[in-house]
């Protein structure tokens, strides 16, 4: 298989977002993961309204003004996919989401590829069994890992990004490649620090790039 087509994958969800009262319904999108979707900037400061779930929610409402849509954040700072999978049914699927986003790659280095892969598969498969669409997020950047020893930390981050991309292709679900979005920005400007509030947390500019990448999945033709 391959990564889902962003122009068609969420067509049913977009159709629901376009409907007007009295034919519309509530659309639920759950953002699951660690500190980045939870809104941590310079730890311990949490800037909820400048984090990508909220920025994305605003973009979504600007495009679909008649929609009743909830963007629900189930993320917990410091968590890995192993813990996230353990609470997935209670904290994510219980909301009866139309779409689930999963963002754990930054922290999953601490549990290793094998445990991370098992945990991501559990969440993906639980979603698909319920008919829920899935967007997988590759990790944002950790400049401490990139530019301080040991370089293995950066290599591990790249391996987890690769795992997430391969899972998106295997299951035919969506991919928001935050890692590549940050790389593209650096290659254009040369200044990756524009995107960071903390050594491993994006600032509003970084979050806005992710929100814009999310929106690509919610504009169908």
Task: List the domains of the chain with CATH numbers.
Answer: 11-218 (3.40.50.1110)
Residue 198 to residues 29, 41, 56, Cα–Cα distance (Å) = 27, 6, 21
Length of the chain in terms of residues written? 221
pLDDT tens sequence across 24-75: 999 999 999 999 999 999 999 999 999 999 999 999 999 999 999 999 999 9
Looking at residue 198, its pLDDT comes to: 92
Q: Distance between CA atoms of 173 and 156, rounded to whole angstroms? A: 23
Cα angle 160-37-163, degrees, rounded to a multiple of 5: 15
CA atoms lying within 13 Å on the CB side of residue 22:
0
Token pair in block for residue 124: 């993906």
State the CB neighbour count (10 A cutoff) for residue 220: 16
Looking at residue 146, its pLDDT comes to: 59
Parts of the chain with a pLDDT under 70:
145-150, 221
Name the strand (E) or helix (H) holding 189.
helix 178-189
Q: Check the CA dihedral 47-50-53-58 and report its sign.
A: positive
Looking at residue 210, its pLDDT comes to: 98
Looking at residue 162, its pLDDT comes to: 98
Looking at residue 1, its pLDDT comes to: 83
pTM above 0.85, yes or no: yes
Residue 119 to residues 111, 126, 157, 197, 215, Cα–Cα distance (Å) = 10, 11, 17, 28, 26
């Amino acid at each position: 298989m391959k990564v889902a087509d962003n122009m068609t994958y969420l067509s049913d969800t977009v159709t629901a977002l376009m409907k007007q009262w009295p034919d519309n319904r509530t659309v639920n999108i759950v953002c699951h993961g660690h500190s980045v979707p939870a809104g941590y900037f310079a730890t311990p400061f949490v800037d909820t309204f400048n984090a990508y779930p909220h920025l994305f929610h605003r973009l979504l409402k600007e495009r679909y003004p008649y929609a009743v849509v909830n963007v629900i954040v189930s993320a917990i700072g410091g968590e890995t996919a192993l813990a996230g999978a353990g609470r997935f049914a209670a904290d994510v699927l219980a909301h009866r989401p139309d779409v689930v986003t999963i963002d754990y790659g930054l922290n999953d280095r601490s549990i290793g590829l094998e445990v991370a892969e098992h945990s991501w598969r559990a969440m993906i498969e639980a979603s698909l069994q319920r008919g829920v669409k899935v967007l997988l997020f590759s990790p944002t950047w950790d400049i401490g890992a990139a530019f301080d020893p040991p370089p293995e930390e950066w290599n591990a981050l790249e391996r987890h990004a690769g795992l997430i991309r391969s899972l998106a292709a295997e299951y035919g679900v969506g991919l928001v490649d935050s890692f590549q979005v940050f790389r593209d920005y650096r290659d254009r400007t040369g200044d990756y620090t524009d995107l960071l509030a903390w050594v491993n947390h994006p600032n509003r500019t970084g979050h806005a790039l992710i929100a814009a990448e999310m929106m690509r999945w919610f504009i169908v033709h």
